[in-house]
Structure 1
């Protein structure tokens, strides 16, 4: 990370670029040559009254003159995020204080603020009871924070990102994250208002295809392939997630069967297990639940058995580079690209997700609804035994 005031370096760089001697600059400003030399060596700083004159001399803004940076690399940001996450597993109050300190100290690092806001949103969503931070809240020491407090903090950080960011992709991500936080906080109308203009944007597929074609004409095939695979991943992920959501919304047995078959076909045809190993088990369980409610015992047990088999293999996620459909996405999907700390964090996170899925699956299978539908069926008993075994892993 770069975090310093580099006035002297800027003066030296701009002076050489303009072909001006230290003596000439000193004469213009009414100071000694030695003073200019000390500025450029970082041994002292110009008097504050001289700063506008120095900036004007080189046609710079004051921001450009200061050349101040406060941005972490992506690897550093990922490591800090992983650090706060790990601390949160041991002491959520201490983790929250650390997060606040990072946000305060680096209030213009939009990428870090985005990550911290997402973590606050995760904490808010997982919070069953308030926790007490080490500091003070609303002037009262040791006052507990609840999910709404954390969501408000996340929204404050996202507001800062939307205020200072200039990169369109960063602004788009911030808007999406803000909508996610609002939705999770139960502020559905606000989330919808924010999302509507994003969803109604002109589809980017035509521009993506045209850019890929331009890359090919320029013999930049690697960039074209990477672009096409990224767009395919986005589109495939949307198709799969939309089918799953619609299964839950419609609660219709015929649709659940059709959607489950369609999702499985897409999942297998596009080798999505290499990039999203958790989807198939989750989708099969959603379908099974809809069929159970409809009293379709045989079809429900078929779907439940598929979910059990998929869940048993959920940790066997292969390297995307081994798939010809995703070989150009391997680097982007590899958490090690953001450093060892981030890779270790993502590995722990994946293990936790798998464990939670097994726990939830066992509870679902052992529920009274399934026992009433198929308690005497050997297939059900086999799935239940497997679910309990998986939960114990």
Structure 2
């Protein structure tokens, strides 16, 4: 314990409450000399006396001891910048720093998430898309997010935190435990609470609020549907006809003005899968036709990621959409778009379903163009 600051706080609180040293000593059952030594920093109160001392001063133990359970905005910015810098140079040092800050702010759920997510992103990067068990890295992310969930289970980010934990568990061989945790969150029926709430708002005369409630729920439902469709397209046994229907569904989701920006990768991801399935089934010309359309989809996706324009329909719920951001954010979006092109180019090279077309001039030209897009970065 740092006795000098505590000494100053005891003296300041005593004076503010109007106690003499003798009066404070009498209330605590100690001698006046003991209080004098506390205030001079020569000794500290017995730990058993701290709750009573805090109560006399109408303060919490945290306030008495000078402990700040929540980091300030400035401190969070400082920690975030330090984490980013350390992760670029030394992962082990970044992990040590993350653990140190977590120990200092173990009651700050927002800060714990802020520290955990860059570590998770680094684990995914090292695992080339699938979190790799880097010594201590994945374990730290899991521990930090579990604590964040414990502190604030109803936060807007709680579901995403749980999903991240489950993905880490699955990546480290604990699929059964991950499934047990996440299955509880899988909806068993449609949730109509937003519809009921909006109806009540309308009856209360708040038509604008009711419309906002419904648009927000529609946005969330669209994002959920798009995520399910994109995930389903990655299932290996999905046939050509199912893939065609899935593509039609995705194109329908994105048809209204501006809606494509909600899930820019959806259509190219599904069309690429459809093209590969067509090639696998021997429908070579159809596969190449879809691959050429995929190139157009990918270019559109790249533009949307680099320069997103939110759909006007969801203007009233802008807080859930893309933000303009500064130059750094815009540059990061451009890098994300470029990385996407590179990832798809590598996928075409590695996917065995295209083996029968490796020597086809039309296919090789397309692959060269995809590779060229990656080299433009």
- For the residues of structure 2 that align with 1:266 and 1:75, how far apart are their CA atoms? 41
- Does the 8 A contact of 2:119 with 2:141 survive in 1? yes
Higher relative contact order (CA 8 A, sep 6+): 1
The residue aligned with 1:260 is: 247
Counterpart in 1 of 2:68?
69
The residue matched to 2:312 in structure 1 has which SS? coil
Indicate yes or no: 2:342 matched with 1:359. Answer: yes
Contact 2:226 2:263 in 1 (8 A): no
Q: Helix, strand or coil: the match of 2:255?
A: helix
Contact 1:319 1:330 in 2 (8 A): no
Let me know the Cα RMSD of the aligned residues: 4.3
5 Å matches for 1:33-48?
A: 47=45
Match of 1:22 among 18, 24, 35: 18
- For residues 148 and 357 of structure 1, the distance between their equivalents in structure 2, rounded to whole angstroms, comes to 28
The residue number in structure 2 matching 1:114 is: 113
Deviation, structure 1 residue 288 = 1.6
Distance 1:210 1:111, change over 3 A: same
Q: TM-score of the superposition, structure 2-length normalised?
A: 0.75
- Cα pair 1:244 1:286 within 8 Å, conserved: no
Secondary structure of the structure 1 residue equivalent to 2:184: helix
1:176-191 mapped onto 2 (5 Å cutoff) = 176-191=163-178
Quote the offset at 1:64 in angstroms: 7.4
For residue 147 of structure 2, what is the aligned residue in structure 1?
160
1:180-217 per-position Cα deviation (integer Å, ceiling 9, x unaligned) = 221232321111010111215775x3222222333444
Alignment correspondent of 1:323: 311
Distance 1:83 1:61 in 2: 31
Question: CA, structure 1 residues 306+72, in 2 after alignment: closer, same or farther (shift >3 Å)?
Answer: farther
Deviations 1:221-277 (A, max 9, x none): 555444333322221122122222223323301111111111111122373332332
Describe the shift of the 1:224–1:315 C-alpha distance in structure 2 as closer, same or farther (beyond 3 A).
farther
* Counterpart in the other structure of 1:240: 226
Secondary structure of the 1:186 match is: coil
Task: Report which stretch shifted further, 50-59 or 208-217.
Answer: 50-59
Unaligned runs of 5+ in 1: 130-144
Deviations 1:59-91 (A, max 9, x none): 776457668533246786477446523542343
Length-normalised TM-score, structure 1: 0.72
CA shift digits 1:352-377 (9 cap, x unpaired): 43233222322344567536337445
Whole-angstrom distance in 2 between the partners of 1:290 and 1:50: 73
Shift of 1:113: 1.4
SS at match of 1:199: coil
Unmatched runs of 5 consecutive residues or more in structure 2: none
1:390 equivalenced with 2:377 (yes/no): no
Aligned length: 355
